[in-house]
Amino acid sequence: MMAVTAKAFQLWRSRIAPQDTVSDLCRVAGIKRSTLAQQLVRGKVSVTTVVAVARGYGLPAVEALAVFEGYEDLPAGIVPPTDAELVSQVSHTDILRLLVARSEDREYTCTDVQLHLAPFPHRNSVRAWIEAIDPGDLRQQLAASTGVARQNLSAQLTAGRLAPEIAVQAARIAGVSLASGLVVTGLLTPAEGGWPEDGRARALCALSDLDLVFLARDRLDVLGKQIRRAELDDGKDRAMWENLG
């Protein structure tokens, strides 16, 4: 259910804005008319479009999604994110900043350090979230329950994205808030997904020095692998062009 059916979308929009034309709807939602028209012709309207329309008409995005198949349990399934989830959405740069602050003054506490955390999602938000909630076999269960091949899941994680229906199913399997995956992929804002404004900073500050060091190590390891992969890909591209030349 990465998209909702055009029929269901048309029924929903007729209820929330019975007097508005498709052009009116697009103007209020801030989306291109051609984009919605193409989706309607294909018979599938993206979840992103649903959220944009809901916001445009001042409706809670979560309640709007719950109208559609596959998302009915979303509102009831929203609970506060776990500390592990919150920390997963802190960038490696902010983790290192706190680590340096602590190393420079052992008396430092988070009440003394102004943690101006960078907004999220960050570069590795999706993968970090999956790892934070993984009971040990999350990828296998996701593949089995959604019918999406493991290779496809890995490709999405490598690209830093996750289809909405897979994100919600991952949360169901892991027993965490059903909105969390939609927050870390950027579909919902933290506020829409029930994430506390100061939650990330609080969870990060609660980590011991040792845990913070291990967290930084793990994040830098992921970053190193990404840089190495990018360099290898760049080398392959150069070699190809040289061969063509």
Domains in the chain and their CATH numbers? Answer: 3-65 (1.10.260), 83-221 (no CATH)
pLDDT band at 229; cut points 50, 70, 90: confident
Question: What pLDDT was estimated at residue 18?
Answer: 95
Give per-residue burial for 17-52: e unless 16+ CB within 10 Å, then b.
beeeeeeebbebbebeeeebeebbeeebbbbbbbbb
Question: What pLDDT was estimated at residue 1?
Answer: 46
- pLDDT tens digit sequence for 161-209: 999 999 999 999 999 999 999 999 999 999 999 999 999 999 999 999 9
Q: Residue 158's CB: how many other CB atoms inside 10 A?
A: 12
Do the Cβ atoms of 201 and 110 come closer than 8 Å?
A: yes
CA 127 to chain centre: 9
**Residues comprising the chain, all counted:** 245
- pLDDT tens digit sequence for 41-54: 999 999 999 999 99
What percentage of residues in the chain have a pLDDT greater than 90?
72
Q: How far apart are CA 12 and CA 59, in angstroms?
A: 12
What would the mean pLDDT of 149-172 be, rounded to a whole number? 92
Residue 201 bridge partners (DSSP): none
Question: What pLDDT was estimated at residue 116?
Answer: 84
